[in-house]
Structure 1
Amino acid sequence: MPSVDEARHAVARDRVGQVIDLALPLIATPSPNPNGDTRVVAALAADLIRTHVPGAEIELHPGSSEIVNVVARVRGAGPGRRVVFNGHLDTYPVGTLAQWSVNPAGEVRDGRLYGRGAADMKGGIAASIVAMAALAEQRAHWSGEAVLTLAGDEETMGPLGTKLLLDRVPHVSGAATIIGDAGSPMVARFGEKGFIWIDITAKGKAAHGAHVHLGMNALDRLRVALDRVSALRDLPVDMPDQVRKAIADAKAISEPLCGAGEADVLSAVTANIGVVSGGTSPNLVPSTAHAAVDIRLPVGVTAKTVLASLKQGLDLPGITWNVLRCFEPNYTSPDNELIRHCARAAADVMGMAPAVNMRVGGSDSRWFRMAGIPTVVYGPTPYNMGAPDEYADISELGIVSRVHALTAFDFLTKEASGT
């Protein structure tokens, strides 16, 4: 039998060809959300796992008549901790086919994997399946369980995917979670901002545009309300020192990848006015107007604080508003064992240490962190995510798979050795 070091080396072996072989049929199987039908792609994923992961126990868990989730489990040499890999089967819609220069159903060209879901996140799913296969081959050297969860409704942030699995399937809860969602191999993400989506409606009084004194412009009222929402950017942030330091330390690596200003965005409340509508003609005073806003919360600002500010600020004539979605910011300590294992594994695979940072966007990682489970997001760089010609770099998908396997192997063997 090989030694643990030899098994670790085997787990970290480059299997990028296998990752692409699995990703292509997943991409070729449409699962746009909306409408959110994952029945066919879930069945395909289950078959791929059954074929490529020896000894995997596979279950399908419907969340609705059309949303189907997949859970696969591999057992180690004996009792121990459980590591959960997580991904989502749904994708953004393809959009207008004429705007694509490649096949949205999957294509390999010039070192890139193209297609809807290549980066977000069927490429990441394939990477995790291959990582599970690598662990299964070396199961004599680790204790506990490795579980793969594939959710059906992440893109619409609904409760019928990861949340349902956590509520109903005991072995979906583990000691650690690894997610291959879009990011960068150079950044291990330990947390993400919270978010509050709100709708605002303004009521006024219709009149002719030449007789404004006889009406009340709903858009004028809405503009005042939106100014109040934008002022949330000035709310104080009581961020823990370890999180603030991690964001600052990651800046030199993370911002060249994700854009200048990322550290500032991670450290403040932001408000994106995404929808504004109202009026029918320039010479008519609009009687109604509407806006929808995406408010993002850094660690150190609670949803309760923001909602209290909104309640006070939007107490205006003719203004009503309601909350569409609300989630707190969440994070795993950057000093947590899982984060350290992931950073070490990435350094071993790439030959350079990654940054350890927060994530600007949302993901299903929040469900695990809300359940108290340490979670890291480590995935490929997304190119044209949600747009035509989406792709992921093939070499990055190979790195992601190796780091997932190595992180899980180290996590499951360290407990067994008592270190």
Structure 2
Amino acid sequence: MTVPLAFDAAVEAAAPALLAFLDRLVAADSANPPGDTRSVAGLVVDHLAAAGRAARIVSQVPEKPNVIAVAEGRGPGRHLVFNVHLDTVHPGEVADWSVPLHAATHRDGRIFGLGVGNMKGAVAAQTLAFELLAAHPEAWSGRITFTAVADETVFGPDGAGFLLETEPDLTGDAMICGEGPGAMALALAEKGLLWLALDAVAPSAQGMLARPLSSAVTRLAAAIAEIDRWNDTTAAPPAEIAAVADHPERDGLRLSVNAGTIAGGRFVSQSATRATAEIDFRIPPGLTIADIEARVDAVIGRIEGLSRRRLKGWEPNWTAASSPIVAAVAAAHGAVRGEAAVPVVRLPASDASRWRRLGVPAVCYGPQADRVSGVDDWVYARDVVDCAKIYARAALAFLSEPT
């Protein structure tokens, strides 16, 4: 039996325990906000300890611990970082859920529960893969660092960002993030983000004297209506990731524009003197923040009394399809799933972008079934098991190549 097949067999033998571990992770509430990850971090530390692996807790605030564990191979080599996050998105309206939030529901090969897709399924799978790799250092060279972080779902300062600032050894030579882009696809890239506030002002007047675009509200509404039509805009991807254009949905290459908040005016019979909207742009590879801001400036330049403010933003980011870590994960997917990996652009942000900004190749791959997690979050149980195999196989391949 080859080494990869031996690891596959070890994962398969551990599958019942792996899924039971996932059940316990789901039962540990770590919704963000407030983002308290102490309970779920404790479960990960205990699981590692039971496998004979020591872990460190690193925290900027006590309620948001991050877990770090390190394994060394048979000799010098590359450094691979595994990365998962411990917090989950907030459930929103609990009444909209048809399953319990914090009790895993197993049904027809699926597992439901808050955060099971985003991303406790990947937490369980990467934990097991790391433990098996650590138990067999003779099978690979170099170093594997397992990171399970807090504060990711709000892209806050207390998780991976804090670790990379205070633990320079965590950068590594490549990173596998457990954020699944949906349907077991392989995300080489993710959209950028731009949050803009549009501010409108207009002279004071009685409403009965209104004319077209005479109030701050109508000026703002006109701009929003024009900007909203950009939702049909698509981009041509950079040559390094040209293959993502073959994905039939192509949503990863579409600019999305969402006017999330709007406020203005004082009283129904008075012309509004001030109004503000906050707009969320998700920018595909092939476009930039400068492109979007230039288009916004052109719109507000045609409407009197409008200005903009940047609230937050970062550029689209990607790892070249030719990168060794992409090849390793794609080959592992093909061996386990019996089909070629589908390269895509992930829609939400992930901690992979933090590593890419440091020049480290990073991919996102995990069992999240939908492109964006939401009500009745779920995974296929088989996908969780397969991910553990694929993480282990990818690490073996990446850490067996010459540096």
Q: TM-score, normalised by structure 2?
A: 0.90
Structure 2 residue 20 is the aligned partner of structure 1 residue 21: yes
Query: Which stretch shows the higher mean deviation, 311-320 or 17-26?
Result: 311-320
Distance 1:233 1:362 in 2: 18
In structure 2, the partner of 1:270 is 256
One-letter amino acid of the structure 1 residue matched with residue 344 of structure 2 = N
Could you tell me how far 1:135 is from its partner in structure 2? 0.9
Preserved CA contact (<8 Å) 2:79 2:174: yes
Among 164, 172, 189, the residue aligned to 1:174: 172
The verdict on how the C-alpha distance between 1:36 and 1:381 changes in structure 2, with shifts beyond 3 A counting, is closer
One-letter amino acid of the structure 1 residue matched with residue 399 of structure 2 = L
- Secondary structure, counterpart of 2:350 in structure 1: coil
Preserved CA contact (<8 Å) 1:7 1:138: no
In structure 1, the partner of 2:356 is 369
The verdict on how the C-alpha distance between 1:215 and 1:320 changes in structure 2, with shifts beyond 3 A counting, is closer
One-letter amino acid of the structure 1 residue matched with residue 296 of structure 2 = L
Could you tell me how far 1:156 is from its partner in structure 2? 1.0
Distance 1:116 1:8 in 2: 29
Q: For 1:344-383, list aligned pairs within 5 A.
A: 344-383=331-370
Could you tell me how far 1:344 is from its partner in structure 2? 0.9
Distance 1:125 1:216 in 2: 54
The verdict on how the C-alpha distance between 1:382 and 1:208 changes in structure 2, with shifts beyond 3 A counting, is farther
Structure 2 residue 284 is the aligned partner of structure 1 residue 287: no
In structure 2, the partner of 1:117 is 115
Structure 2 residue 239 is the aligned partner of structure 1 residue 247: no
* Deviation string, structure 1 residues 109-168 (Cα, Å, up to 9, x no partner): 222222111100111111110111121222121111111111211111123211221221
- Secondary structure, counterpart of 1:276 in structure 2: strand
Could you tell me how far 1:215 is from its partner in structure 2? 10
Preserved CA contact (<8 Å) 2:237 2:244: no
Structure 2 residue 296 is the aligned partner of structure 1 residue 296: no
Distance 1:113 1:162 in 2: 27
Among 138, 141, 144, the residue aligned to 2:139: 141
* Deviation string, structure 1 residues 259-306 (Cα, Å, up to 9, x no partner): xxx31x433433222223334665443333221111122222222333
Q: For 1:225-236, list aligned pairs within 5 A.
A: 225-227=223-225, 229-230=227-228
One-letter amino acid of the structure 2 residue matched with residue 219 of structure 1 = V
In structure 2, the partner of 1:183 is 181
One-letter amino acid of the structure 2 residue matched with residue 20 of structure 1 = L
One-letter amino acid of the structure 1 residue matched with residue 379 of structure 2 = A
One-letter amino acid of the structure 1 residue matched with residue 92 of structure 2 = G
Preserved CA contact (<8 Å) 1:205 1:215: no
Distance 1:351 1:390 in 2: 26
Give ranges in structure 2 of 5+ residues lacking alignment: none
In structure 2, the partner of 1:46 is 45
- Secondary structure, counterpart of 1:121 in structure 2: helix
* Deviation string, structure 1 residues 61-80 (Cα, Å, up to 9, x no partner): 11234322111111212221
- Secondary structure, counterpart of 2:55 in structure 1: strand
- Secondary structure, counterpart of 1:158 in structure 2: coil
Could you tell me how far 1:182 is from its partner in structure 2? 2.9
- Secondary structure, counterpart of 1:414 in structure 2: coil
Q: For 1:5-154, list aligned pairs within 5 A.
A: 7=6, 9-10=8-9, 13=12, 15-52=14-51, 54=52, 56-110=53-107, 111-154=109-152
The verdict on how the C-alpha distance between 1:234 and 1:95 changes in structure 2, with shifts beyond 3 A counting, is closer
Q: For 1:156-167, list aligned pairs within 5 A.
A: 156-167=154-165
Preserved CA contact (<8 Å) 1:272 1:294: yes
The verdict on how the C-alpha distance between 1:119 and 1:250 changes in structure 2, with shifts beyond 3 A counting, is same
- Secondary structure, counterpart of 1:127 in structure 2: helix
Distance 1:343 1:377 in 2: 11
Structure 2 residue 392 is the aligned partner of structure 1 residue 395: no
Distance 2:319 2:114 in 1: 30
Preserved CA contact (<8 Å) 1:384 1:391: no
Preserved CA contact (<8 Å) 1:212 1:285: yes
The verdict on how the C-alpha distance between 1:107 and 1:411 changes in structure 2, with shifts beyond 3 A counting, is same
One-letter amino acid of the structure 2 residue matched with residue 339 of structure 1 = V
- Secondary structure, counterpart of 1:210 in structure 2: helix
Q: TM-score, normalised by structure 1?
A: 0.86
Preserved CA contact (<8 Å) 1:83 1:146: yes
- Secondary structure, counterpart of 2:246 in structure 1: helix
Distance 2:106 2:212 in 1: 63
Preserved CA contact (<8 Å) 1:250 1:355: yes
- Secondary structure, counterpart of 1:120 in structure 2: helix
Q: How many residues matched?
A: 401
Could you tell me how far 1:345 is from its partner in structure 2? 0.6
Distance 1:40 1:395 in 2: 26
Distance 1:213 1:351 in 2: 64
